Structure 1
Amino acid sequence: MTAPLTRRQAFKVAAGLGGAIAAAVLPKPAQASTEEHPAHPVAAPDAIAMLYDSTICTGCKACMPACNEANGLPTDTTLSGGIWDMPTGLNAKTKNIIELYEDPQTDEFAFVKKQCMHCLDPACVTGCPFGSLVKRDLGAVTWNSSLCIGCRYCEVACPFEVPQFQWENWNPKIVKCEFCYDQRLVEGLEPACTAACPTGAVIFGKRVDLLSKAKDRITATPDKYFEQRVYGEHEAGGTQVLYLSGVSFQKIGLPKLGNTSIGHYATKVTSVLYKWLGGPVAVAGLLGFFIRRNWKRHELERLTQEKKTGYPDQL
């Protein structure tokens, strides 16, 4: 039978726990930005981007296996009975997908490529409480597993519904396109999807150059493009994945958004959220401080008592 804890042993455990809370919590405050973000951010001159032209895409889906291979992702064969890759949308196994919009009444159809939009001021980065999502030097939004706590704030914050959570794993990850940052960009290579596209429907380059190219296409053949503008130039403060389409952007699943950065709105929420989060953190740290201080005083009294009586304090 295990002997019961003495008062001194219990006190020592409590002191250790309080100290652990103070040491673990206080030096590591929430990393999500609470500073006001610009309503209309400006892309860096060398910011990278993709330009996807739906009118050129043939729906071959060559970009999908290329993405899976580059990122070490398994194929999603659930719907095909294990035969071929057949995801229904972005998910824990799919960072990039080609979808089809079709109107059987008018015979109107169009393909659309979906992946992370790499916003100029990403709401997912602003909303992440521990900085696991970061916008890198060239503009790619990447995810750090060692900092993620699985809160899924990024899923809620993203207006494009891009980040996906691995529900089936015991140690789940957030899955999203990262522009092949670690796999290819750091080696000077373009993302796997743009390298694999046989028709040039999606191309890679500097954002400023791709915007110019997109506008040149609209000027050259204005009747080809439904809205005669580039989606992502201003939406949500601007994105680094740009779109041209022969049908309405909303029909191919791109949300109608204003020109104000989502991060600009998000900081109004996180500034309040993390302000109130600081209260419990401060209380935990304060308790740890007093427990440690009282423990030291208790130990001093115990040692003094032992010197006087010659017997250890077993109370």
Structure 2
Amino acid sequence: MNLMAIPMSRRQAFKVMIGFGGTVASVVLPKPALASPEEHPAHPVAPPDAVAMLYDSTICTGCKACMPACNEANGLPTDTVLSGGIWDMPTGLNAKTKNIIELYQDPQSNEFAFVKKQCMHCLDPACVTGCPFGSLVKRDLGAVTWNSSLCIGCRYCEVACPFEVPQFQWDSWNPKIVKCEFCYDQRLKENLEPACTAVCPTGAVIFGKRDALLHQAKDRIAAAPGKYFESRIYGEHEAGGTQVLYLSNVSFQKIGLPKLGPTSIGHYATKVTSKIYKWLGGPILMAGVLGFVIRRNWNRHELERLEHEKKTGYPDQL
């Protein structure tokens, strides 16, 4: 609808401008304006009840049993484009795939390893920090979930996530953000483990408390010196720590896990935004004061206009 084509009085136009200005003021000020680096420590500590997955690539056989289990638990359709409609064959995480098994292979050295990819459920998730309206939330037990009623489709979460996990439904008229949510609503609430860990036949991915899985991973490293890359656990410290942990016999970067420091991404982000909003605080406060004055004067004018009409019987033209 073209508002410019609708005839309106100056009074009506002024009302539209006031209403539009109030809407903009209430909507465009994002949630991170309230955040500070203190709320996002550089090295967050996992809560005692934090759950996690431990994936050991040396045990994974690439059977991909976890993939259809994930689809079934989350009501996701199969991605059969590459297979001509025959079987599920995604090329990576996408709008139909929350969990995938991929293969790294070096034909020259014959080095290979499988890797399971899904949301990392960071202790201080960059996607949560980057979401301006709080549609992504770090829930109890540590699951990062998405609320469709608050999402505006800005896709800041896609940009913020260093693991490139959140995916946008480009082919939908009402698109959603698709990502692993630890089967939070489907299984965790019922005290059940995520679908992918429940069906893994070799125990390549297991579920439990984060502290317990870290101890188990360190025991595996100690029991087999030289077996695991750099004798370390990916996710113990990366990006402030994650709740999906990895053991691998090849470089983590080779299997697609980014090289990250121990500092939380959210901490970096809020150091920047806190400075921006500090300098914007004055103009925003002034805009709020002016808006209040305009609204007060407008209400007073409306009362005077009504009194004038009541006394004279003629409308007061603005």
SS in 2 for 1:203: strand
- Of 19, 35, 38, 2:37 maps to 35
**Structure 2 spans left out of the alignment, 5+ residues:** none
Shift of residue 4, structure 1, vs aligned partner = 3.8
| Aligned positions, number | 312
Residue 120 of structure 1: which of 104, 120, 123 is its match? 123
Instruction: Select between 96-105 and 135-144 the one with higher mean Cα deviation.
Output: 135-144
Is 2:15 aligned against 1:6? Answer: no
Q: Is residue 165 from structure 1 mapped to residue 168 from structure 2 by the alignment?
A: yes
Assess if the C-alpha contact under 8 Å between 1:61 and 1:97 holds in 2: yes
1:130·1:148 contact (CA, 8 Å) conserved in 2?
yes
Amino acid aligned to 2:175: P
Higher RCO by CA contacts (8 Å cutoff, separation 6 or greater) = 1
1:289 aligns with 2:305: no
Match of 1:179 among 167, 177, 182: 182
What is the TM-score normalised by the length of structure 2? 0.89
| Segment of structure 1 superposing worse, 304-313 or 183-192 | 304-313
Report matched runs for 1:256-271 at 5 Å.
Answer: 256-271=259-274
Identity value in percent? 84
Map residues 266-281 of structure 1 onto 2, 5 A cutoff: 266-275=269-278
Instruction: Tell me, in whole angstroms, the C-alpha distance in 1 between the residues paired with 2:257 and 2:135.
Output: 26
Per the alignment, do residues 299 and 138 of structure 1 end up closer, same or farther by CA in structure 2, a change over 3 Å counting? same
Q: Which of 197-206 and 247-256 deviates more?
A: 247-256
1:139 to 115, 123, 142: 142
Shift of 1:187: 0.4
Q: How does 1:18-167 map to 2 (within 5 A)?
A: 18-21=21-24, 24-25=26-27, 30-31=31-32, 33-36=35-38, 37-167=40-170
Distance in structure 2 (CA, Å) of the matches to 1:85 and 1:283: 56
Equivalent residue, structure 1, for 2:196:
193
Measured at CA, do residues 124 and 12 of structure 1 come closer, stay the same or move farther in structure 2, by a change above 3 Å? closer
Q: Given the superposition, is the C-alpha separation of residues 300 and 176 from structure 1 closer, same or farther in structure 2, using an over 3 Å criterion?
A: same
Shift of 1:6: 3.1
Instruction: Name structure 1 gaps, 5 residues minimum.
Output: none
- How far apart are the structure 2 equivalents of 1:46 and 1:5? 60
Q: 1:119: Cα distance to partner? A: 1.1
Deviation at 1:11, TM superposition (A): 3.5
**Matched residue type, 1:98:** I
Query: Cα offset for 1:55?
Result: 0.6
* Mapped contact 1:25–1:281 kept (Cα < 8 A): no
Paired residue type of 1:131: G
SS of match in other structure, 1:10: helix
TM-score (norm 1): 0.89
Q: Which amino acid aligns with 1:35?
A: P
For the residue of structure 1 that corresponds to 2:140, the secondary structure is coil
Superposed CA offset, 1:253-280 (max 9, x none)? 1111112222221211232444566677
> What is the root-mean-square deviation in Å for CA atoms of aligned residues?
2.4
1:249 is aligned to 2:252: yes
User: How far apart in 2 are the matches of 1:231 and 1:266?
Assistant: 22
| CA 1:292–1:104: 2 relative to 1, 3 Å | same
Partner Cα separation in structure 1 for residue 295 and residue 201 of structure 2: 66
